């Protein structure tokens, strides 16, 4: 678990430098930053304000998906709004019921914004800001008297308040009358900023919406400044690129569910750069994701790699045919391994070859079966899963 957390935090630090965490934690807001390029779209940063609001420690949050804060009463439509915004790589602002670590529910305004790489235009992070929706009560010297007057003048309004705030059924008018005095006393003893949980949806105020937007802007300002120190610039706006080298967030999420070792290369860009590398591929080769993306797969070759096999791979790519080869490759630490490599073209919804997928299996496991599947069948299952993900993504893009 510690190594996974280290890998996730490292992916964040490499783009922004380690000082970015200190700068972000100086912000008073509650927010998280997620990485759609890591399997499961996990949280890679959680602010101190977020941890305090939800009651979790950093280690309990980093590496987890935001689903962990939803519960039985969370509106599925709000969740779908967020998912759709991720798929379309756009901002979203929605009121949603979430849950703290101790199980208590509360309403909050959630605003999410994508962060784009200026290098290739792809989404590298999503920022999620949480602003609690609070209901304030009056407390003044005349509060008790005014509450008593209001109770007698507006019994219907009180009945509505009891239903909302107490969250229990009032069975008769006599019970309602017995509750008047105690409710009046309670209503003036509640602290101004105390949160009241209610069943029906809570709408955020304009000031709360403004607060969320300001928080997003402040976070983006910090990320932009600290990305400049590494030369890996980020932007709030998507830059216009030719070609299809950039994967959208929806496709990244779908590919992240495939647990085998594989890479996806862009068939429409010069030299077929890698645009996606699975976690299993990174584990097999020892490379970090930023060291792989944009490279041609030749970087795995070494002094003893057979050029005949390399030519065979090149030929199958030129003819847009699938092939399976056994090739000597090298890990980052330069240790060699025999790679049972399967390459297959991947067509988009229009039928054009948009990508090539390469599935790697360490040949020391070549004669073993996993879950009843031979290595070749495992590779074909990956090809099928990638085809479904790519075609679904391209069809969704064409209709959005």
pLDDT band at 310 (very low <50, low <70, confident <90, very high): very high
The kind and range of the H/E element at 251 are helix 249-256
Phi/psi for 31 (5° steps) reads -160, 160
- 27-36, 176-185, 224-233 — which one is most confidently predicted on average? 27-36
Q: Could you write out the three-class secondary structure of 202-235? A: CCCCHHHHHHHHHHHHHHHHHHHHHHHCCCCCEE
For domain 2-135+202-235, give the fold.
Beta-Lactamase (3.30.450)
Q: What is the dihedral of CA 221, 222, 228, 233, to 10 degrees?
A: -60
Q: Is the pLDDT of residue 244 over 90?
A: no
State the pLDDT at residue 188: 37
Each residue's pLDDT tens digit, 136-167:
444 444 444 444 444 444 444 444 444 444 33
Cα-trace Rg, the chain: 27
pLDDT band at 184 (very low <50, low <70, confident <90, very high): very low
Percent of the chain whose pLDDT exceeds 70:
74
Helix then strand count (H, E) for the chain reads 14, 11
State the pLDDT at residue 215: 95
pLDDT band at 48 (very low <50, low <70, confident <90, very high): very high
State the pLDDT at residue 342: 95
Q: Is the pLDDT of residue 121 over 60?
A: yes
Q: Which residue in the block uniquely carries the two structure tokens 């297959």?
A: 344
| Mean pLDDT, rounded, for 382-390 | 91
CA dist 350 and 347 (Å) reads 8
15 to 66, 122, 217: CA distances (angstroms): 22, 14, 19
Domain boundaries, the chain: 2-135+202-235, 143-189, 249-399
pLDDT band at 135 (very low <50, low <70, confident <90, very high): low
Which has more confidence, 121 or 167? 121
Percent of the chain whose pLDDT exceeds 90:
46
Which has more confidence, 190 or 316? 316
CA dist 207 and 95 (Å) reads 14
| Mean pLDDT, rounded, for 73-78 | 91
Inter-helix orientation angle 206-228/2-16, to 10°: 80
pLDDT band at 246 (very low <50, low <70, confident <90, very high): low
Instruction: Retrieve residue 325's tokens.
Output: 């080869």
Instruction: Retrieve residue 152's tokens.
Output: 């007698």
Q: 2-135+202-235 and 249-399: same fold?
A: yes
State the pLDDT at residue 145: 44
Weakest-pLDDT range from 49-58, 154-163, 210-219, 292-301: 154-163
Mean pLDDT of the chain: 79
Tell which phi-psi region holds residue 167, choosing left (phi > 0), alpha (psi between -120 and 50) or beta.
left
CA dist 15 and 49 (Å) reads 23
Superfamily covering domain 249-399: PAS domain (3.30.450.20)
State the pLDDT at residue 41: 87
The kind and range of the H/E element at 361 are strand 353-362
Q: Could you write out the three-class secondary structure of 143-184? A: HHHHHHHHHHHCHHHHHHHHHHHHCCCCCCHHHHHHHHHHHH
pLDDT band at 7 (very low <50, low <70, confident <90, very high): low
Helices (H), 269-339: 279-285, 289-292, 307-318
Weakest-pLDDT range from 26-40, 106-120, 174-188, 243-257: 174-188
Nearest to 244 by CA among 269, 219, 224, 220: 269
State the pLDDT at residue 372: 57
pTM of this structure: 0.56
Each residue's pLDDT tens digit, 263-301:
999 998 888 999 999 989 999 999 988 788 888 999 999
| Mean pLDDT, rounded, for 237-251 | 61
Each residue's pLDDT tens digit, 321-378:
999 999 999 999 999 999 999 999 999 877 889 999 999 998 875 445 455 567 888 8
Instruction: Retrieve residue 262's tokens.
Output: 């594989």
| Mean pLDDT, rounded, for 249-274 | 87
Q: Find the length of the chain.
A: 400
């Amino acid at each position: 678990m510690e190594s996974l957390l280290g890998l996730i935090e490292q992916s964040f630090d490499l783009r922004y430098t380690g000082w970015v965490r200190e700068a972000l934690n100086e912000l008073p807001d509650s927010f998280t930053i997620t990485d759609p390029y890591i399997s499961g779209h996990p949280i890679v940063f959680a602010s101190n304000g977020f941890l305090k609001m939800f009651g979790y420690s950093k280690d309990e949050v980093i590496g987890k998906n935001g689903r962990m804060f939803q519960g039985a009463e969370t509106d599925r439509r709000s969740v779908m709004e967020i998912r759709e915004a991720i798929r379309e790589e756009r901002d979203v602002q929605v009121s949603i019921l979430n849950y703290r670590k101790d199980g208590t529910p509360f309403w909050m305004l959630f605003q999410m914004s994508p962060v784009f790489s200026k290098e290739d235009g792809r989404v590298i992070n999503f920022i999620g800001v949480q602003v609690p929706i609070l209901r304030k009560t009056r407390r003044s010297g005349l509060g008790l008297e005014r509450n008593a007057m209001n109770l007698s003048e507006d019994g219907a309004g009180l009945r509505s308040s009891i239903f909302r705030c107490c969250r229990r059924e009032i069975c008769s008018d006599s019970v309602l009358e017995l509750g008047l005095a105690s409710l009046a006393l309670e209503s003036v003893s509640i602290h101004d900023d105390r949160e009241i949980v209610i069943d029906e949806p809570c709408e955020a105020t304009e000031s709360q919406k403004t607060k969320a937007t300001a928080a997003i802007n402040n976070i983006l300002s910090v990320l932009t400044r600290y990305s400049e120190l590494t030369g890996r610039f980020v932007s709030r706006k998507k830059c216009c690129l030719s070609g299809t080298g950039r994967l959208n967030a929806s496709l990244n999420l779908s590919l992240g569910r495939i647990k085998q070792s594989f890479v996806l290369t862009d068939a429409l860009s010069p030299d077929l750069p890698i645009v996606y590398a699975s976690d299993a591929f990174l584990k097999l080769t020892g490379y970090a994701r930023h060291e792989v993306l944009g490279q041609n797969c030749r970087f795995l070759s070494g002094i003893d790699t057979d050029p005949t096999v390399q030519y065979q791979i090149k030929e199958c790519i030129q003819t847009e045919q699938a092939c399976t080869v056994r090739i000597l490759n090298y890990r980052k630490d330069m240790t060699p391994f025999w790679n049972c490599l399967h390459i297959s073209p991947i067509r988009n919804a229009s039928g054009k070859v948009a990508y090539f997928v390469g599935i790697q299996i360490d040949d020391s496991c070549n004669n073993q079966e996993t879950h009843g599947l031979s290595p070749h069948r495992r590779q074909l299952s990956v090809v099928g899963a990638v085809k479904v993900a790519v075609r679904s993504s391209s069809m969704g893009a064409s209709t959005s």
